[in-house]
Amino acid sequence: MKEICLVFVCWALLGVAQPVLGQVELRGGVGMIFDGTQPGIHGSLILPFSSKPAGLLASVEYYKKSGVTTVPVTARGLYNINVGESTKAYFGVGSGVIYISTGTGFLQDSSTKAIMSGVFGIKGKAEGAFGFFGQVSVERALTSGASTELAAQAGVYVTFIEDD
C-alpha cells in the first residue's frame, strides 16, 4: 500500500510540474542531523509556481550512524526572497513522514510517523544552470513526547532553464 501511495504522490507532483517543467530545480548534497551527529545524503526537487516567488519543495534524506537509520520524506510550501543579484533566501513549511530504524540483525526496532517540517536556506547561482545551496531543516513527529530533529544540508543544484 505504501508503494502505491508513493507512486501516486510522485505522479501528482509531476502532473503539477508540467506547465513549468523548464523551471524545475533538482538538488543533491550532504547533510547531518545534529542530535547524535548522523551524517547522510539529501535529494530534493523544487517545482515553482510559474512566475510567483513560491513553489513546492519535495525532499528525501537518508542518515545513518551506529545502527540508527533516519529517512525523512517531506513536501513543503516554499517562498523565495531575493537578497542579492544571484542569491536568494527561502523558507517553507509542510509535512511528510519519517522512518527511523534502530539496532541491527534480529534486534531491530523501526517506526514510521507523520511529521511537521520547516526549512530555511540560502541558494546562490554559479555558472549557467548550476548553483549551490545551504539549508537548515526542522522535523517533529506528530506524536506525544516526540523530539525535534534539527538538521543541516548543503549541496549543488541544476535548473533545466536559465533565469533571465
Q: Could you give the number of structural domains in the chain?
A: 1
pLDDT at 145: 82
Residue with cell 513560491: 54
Q: Which residue has the higher pLDDT, 9 or 101?
A: 101
Exposure string (b/e) for 69-82, b if CB count within 10 Å is 16 or more? bbbbbbbbebebee
- Say if strands 38-48 and 54-65 run parallel, antiparallel, or are unpaired: antiparallel
Enter the pTM of the model.
Answer: 0.78
Residue 127 belongs to domain with CATH number? 2.40.160.20
- Residue 164 forms part of a structural domain: no
**Alpha-carbon torsion (26, 27, 33, 34), positive or negative:** negative
Is residue 69 within 8 Å of 52, Cβ to Cβ? no
Confidence of residue 25 (pLDDT cuts 50, 70, 90): very high
The range of the structural domain enclosing residue 58 comes to 2-159
Lowest-confidence pick of 81-90, 92-101, 104-113, 121-130: 104-113
